[in-house]
């Protein structure tokens, strides 16, 4: 379903319960909860986005663009050395 079709279906379903204040309050509460979840975690991504990031990283490594930690180097030192210091 496209976003347009989903919106139309949502409005149709809400039209069936529009005269019931209790049900409309439940819908509103749930929609607000979903909206808050989306805002709360900007790291959420689709499976396709995740695998695209992995593929991009593999391509960068194949071109020799990757970064490696030195033996006995801790994470803070690694980040500082690569310009991501804390």
Q: What would the pLDDT profile of 18-65 be if each residue is shown by its tens digit?
A: 999 999 999 999 999 888 877 767 778 889 999 999 999 999 989 988
- Give residue-wise pLDDT tens across range 66-85: 888 999 999 999 999 988 87
Is 27 in contact with 21 (CB distance < 8 Å)?
no
- What is the pLDDT confidence band of residue 86, given thresholds at 50, 70 and 90? low
**pLDDT score for 61:** 87
This model's pTM is above 0.75: no
Report residue 41 CA to chain centroid gap. Answer: 6
For residues 16, 22, 24 and 27, what is the CA-based torsion angle, rounded to 10 degrees? -110
3-class DSSP state of 41: coil
């Amino acid at each position: 379903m496209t976003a347009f079709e989903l919106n139309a279906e949502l409005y149709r379903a809400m039209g069936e319960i529009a005269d019931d204040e209790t049900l409309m309050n439940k819908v509103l509460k749930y929609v607000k909860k979903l909206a808050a979840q989306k805002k709360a975690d900007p790291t959420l991504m689709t499976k396709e986005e995740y695998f695209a990031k992995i593929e991009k990283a593999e391509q960068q490594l194949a071109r020799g663009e990757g970064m490696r930690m030195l033996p006995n180097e801790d994470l803070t030192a690694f980040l500082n050395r690569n310009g991501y210091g804390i």
